[in-house]
Structure 1
Amino acid sequence: MDKRKPTLIKLDVSDNEANLTLKVDADILDFRGHFTHFPLLPGVSQIDWALFYAVEHLNTPALFKGMEVIKFQEPILPDAEVTLSLSWDPAKEKLAFTYSSQKNGNRIVHSSGKMKLGE
């Protein structure tokens, strides 16, 4: 079976928020062909993972209704360790997510966005 998800290192969940520490393993299928000489994690994979973990750990609706805001600022490279922060607003049916990491004591934001979910 081809690997599609990262290794979950740590999980903290409270109310409508979750923080996941993920190891973005180099053998994840999504790195193949994206790009041959400079592999990076596709944006669509980042969105997919945010939705997957929100449904799994925050019990959000699974139906994706669209993106409202999305920014890809720094690539996520093979074998990176990143934090995925999720925040669910049930009243507005909006999921906010941020992928970040630490480098030399500084927080690097890789991507962030908001998506509309529903039934």
Structure 2
Amino acid sequence: MSMELVCTAERLRTHAWVADARCGHAGENAPGIVLVLHSTGIDALCRLGRSRLIDRLQRDIEYTGEPVTWRLLDTLPASASAQQIDAWLQAPLPREALLLDEQQHDGVWTLALRIPLDLVYFPGHFPQAPVLPGAVQIAWALSFAATRLGTPARCQMMEALKFQQLLRPGNRADLTLHHDAARNKLHFAYRHGDKAYSSGRLAWSATS
């Protein structure tokens, strides 16, 4: 590991947006840095997007070295080994929500989720204002329901869809799932406290 990269991680840890920064290898001899952001950094990510956030950080610490692979993590254990850092840098960007907790009561599942900062869908939707696409919210609801309620992983009809507020990097959301077997419909809703993000019904034919 080059001293320049080690010093870069040290300078990043003094930045107001950064809670932690570690350097490692993103591939054979390819440098990389994993970052954990303070709440102010997450706000900046939502405001600027991933690419502009990283550009701003590099300008602020006056980094002029070789290109670096970046990963944004929600947490980074103080005891993380060099091998773990390298594994995070070499892993693909996440495609799924972080499942924090789940409960089932009277056939209704409630899943506590956190939206990863580095979700693969954010750079394309939208690069400078990352938002979780509605299609991904529906796909997650179907996937989580399939393993808990035994419903199909794909639906044929979508009813009463409402997208009320944007889901952004780092947001928490409680996903509720209920299968109305008599009507063969899956009811889903993303909300957190009194904040409603989205909801709808996903349906299949009687023979699905």
TM-score by structure 2 length? 0.53
1:14 deviates by 3.3
Aligned 1:10-89 pairs, distance under 5 A: 10-89=101-180
Write the letter of the residue equivalent to 1:31.
Answer: F
Write the letter of the residue equivalent to 1:92.
Answer: R
1:115 alignment partner in structure 2:
202
1:96 alignment partner in structure 2:
187
Structure with greater helix share of residues: 2
Write the letter of the residue equivalent to 1:5.
Answer: E
Conservation of the 8 A alpha-carbon contact between 1:93 and 1:116:
yes
The runs of at least 4 aligned residues of structure 1 exceeding 2 Å deviation read none
1:117 deviates by 2.8
Deviation per CA, 1:5-62: give whole Å up to 9, x if none.
0110010123431000001011111112111111010000000000000101111133
Query: Secondary structure of the equivalent of 1:57?
Result: helix
Write the letter of the residue equivalent to 2:196.
Answer: V
The one of the two structures with greater contact order (alpha-carbon pairs below 8 A, sep at least 6) is: 1
Conservation of the 8 A alpha-carbon contact between 1:60 and 1:117:
no
Conservation of the 8 A alpha-carbon contact between 1:65 and 1:117:
yes
Write the letter of the residue equivalent to 2:198.
Answer: S
Conservation of the 8 A alpha-carbon contact between 1:97 and 1:114:
yes
TM-score by structure 1 length? 0.90
Instruction: Specify the structure having the higher radius of gyration (Cα).
Output: 2
Query: Secondary structure of the equivalent of 1:32?
Result: helix
Structure with greater strand share of residues: 1
Number of aligned positions between the proteins: 115
Write the letter of the residue equivalent to 2:135.
Answer: V
Q: Which stretches in structure 1 are left out of the alignment for 5+ residues? A: none
Deviation per CA, 1:37-96: give whole Å up to 9, x if none.
110100000000000001011111334111011010000010111100111101111001
What is the RMSD computed on CA atoms of the aligned residues?
Answer: 1.3
CA distance in 2, matches of 1:42, 1:110: 12
Q: Which stretches in structure 2 are left out of the alignment for 5+ residues? A: 1-91
